[in-house]
Amino acid sequence: MRIAYQGEPGAFGEAAARLFEPRWEPVAFRTFDDVFEGVERGPVHYGIVPIENSVGGSIHRNYDLLVAHHVPIVGEVELPVVHELLAPPGATIDGLRRVYSHPQALAQCERFLGTLKGVEIVATYNTAGSAKQVAEEGHADAAAIASARAGELYGLVRLASGIQDYDDNVTRFLVIGRRPLARGVPDKTTIVFSLANEPGALFKALSAFALRGIDLTKLESRPLPGQPWQYLFYADVGAARDDLACGRALAQLAESAPTLRTLGSYPRWRAAESR
């Protein structure tokens, strides 16, 4: 099996893919759009994309892509993220003038970056891609924030380790694929729905789950394209789609929601990790 991730070898997406299934072959794609298209069109069997970080928050682009593509969520994985400050051999922290990394990584290391005076912070498309760029250019005044594995792959030295703002820095990834996985019993469902813009609409929608004792572990809103000030609501439901109570809750929600779509029903990571 081949699983797509965004970035370069050494990216956290690659690490998440290996954590989810060490026997699969990770395949690098440049953008998240490419990952979804690769799974949808068939060059790869599955894809893995970050959806939220415990410090930096949601990755909004991937919420939008879940709606734009008809590739269901089939699993998830939670990856502890440790950031390293990496530079070419001979570089020093005092000599740095530029630091490159993905915007999420930069957000997760704000306090450390605040201690670097006179250093330009440059956002890039990928953490490992930043490490690769710094290695190829070889400037002693440039560094990247990336994984330890990226440093090893591209021959960089570690100037500082564990520079993320919080030790419990975890990124949750979703696994997408055209076919379900035969591992674990689904106990989590991700849905997306729209609502009429009227008083109490969201309260009524969520009450369908509250009245049945079903936990909502995540709620996210995103703008509805082409309809200013209208929104799509994404929710993670702590139950399987085929669970009787969940099915009835979704049926009740459908009565008031102009649109409702199930994006996937899958084992949550704690269940999956005990397989």
Split into its structural domains, the chain has a count of 3
CATH code of 102's domain: 3.40.190.10
Contact indicator for 262, 250 with CB cutoff of 8 Å: yes
- Which one from 12, 20, 29, 173 is the annotated catalytic residue? 173
173-194 pLDDT, tens digit per residue, is 999 999 999 888 999 999 999 9
Q: Which domain holds residue 92?
A: 84-161
Number of other CB atoms surrounding residue 71 within 10 Å: 21
| Stretches in the chain below the pLDDT threshold 70 | 271-275
pLDDT at 182 (0 to 100): 84
For residue 157, tell me if it sits in a domain: yes
Choose one of 126, 149, 177: the last residue of a domain: 177
Question: What is the predicted pLDDT for the residue at 274?
Answer: 45
Residue 183 forms part of a structural domain: no
pLDDT on residue 69: 96
29 is catalytic: no
Q: Beta 46-53 vs 57-58: how paired, if at all?
A: antiparallel
Judge whether 169 and 80 are in contact, CB under 8 Å. Answer: yes
> For this structure, is 171 an active site residue?
yes
Q: Are residues 73 and 173 in the same domain?
A: yes
Residue 255 belongs to a domain: yes
Is residue 54 included in any domain, yes or no?
yes
Q: Let me know whether 89 and 138 are in one domain.
A: yes
Would you say residue 119 lies in a domain? yes
Question: What pLDDT is attached to residue 273?
Answer: 54
258 inside domain: yes
pTM of the model: 0.94
192 and 264 share one domain: yes
Q: Are residues 198 and 268 in the same domain?
A: yes
Please pick, among 124, 171, 189, 190, the residue that the annotation labels catalytic.
171
Residue 182 lies in a domain: no
DSSP states along 94-144 = TT--EEEE-HHHHHHTHHHHTT-TT-EEEE-S-HHHHHHHHHHH--TTEEE
